[in-house]
Amino acid sequence: MNILFISDAAENYSVGGFEPLGIMYLTSALKEAGHQVAICGAGRNEVKKYLSKFRPQVVAYSATTGAHRLFLNLNRRIKSEHLVFSVFGGPHPTFFPQMIEEEGVNALCIGEGEEVFVELAAKLERGEDISRLAIST
């Protein structure tokens, strides 16, 4: 399964910012489980390039409070043109789980997600029911 992480930290890292460590932990666990993973910045052109070339089935965001609005808007635009499953993790959904009620949000990862995200990807890939999967610690 192809999983694309979209991060403003990844965008900033390329110009001397910080590494998106949480995302890097998740990508490591997902790669070990056999999934294809990519990370891109949140810029419109970069996202379009990754969506067309990488063709993800899952798009994931690590959202801080404030930046969460950028990611929600971006997610709505992506979902209007692509059939993807969206997962939001990071500080904002962890402290504000009501984010699941936002348009276009399919799942939240609350807290650390290395194990449960791998389980989610496996269930999605096999077409299994995820309604009982607790995406939290």
pTM of this prediction exceeds 0.85 = yes
DSSP 27-80: HHHHHHTT-EEEEE-S-HHHHHHHHHHH--SEEEEE--TTHHHHHHHHHHHHHH
Question: Which one has a higher pLDDT value, 7 or 2?
Answer: 2
Q: Which of 72, 29, 22 is nearest to 10 (CA)?
A: 22
pLDDT level of residue 87 (50, 70, 90 thresholds): very high
Q: Which of 95, 101, 21, 104 is nearest to 65 (CA)?
A: 95
For residues 83-112, give the mean pLDDT: 93
pLDDT digits (tens, 9 = 90+) for 17-42: 556 788 899 999 999 999 999 999 88
Residues written for the chain: 137
For 44, the token pair is 């419109």
pLDDT of residue 37: 97
Domains contained in the chain, CATH given: 2-126 (3.40.50.2300)
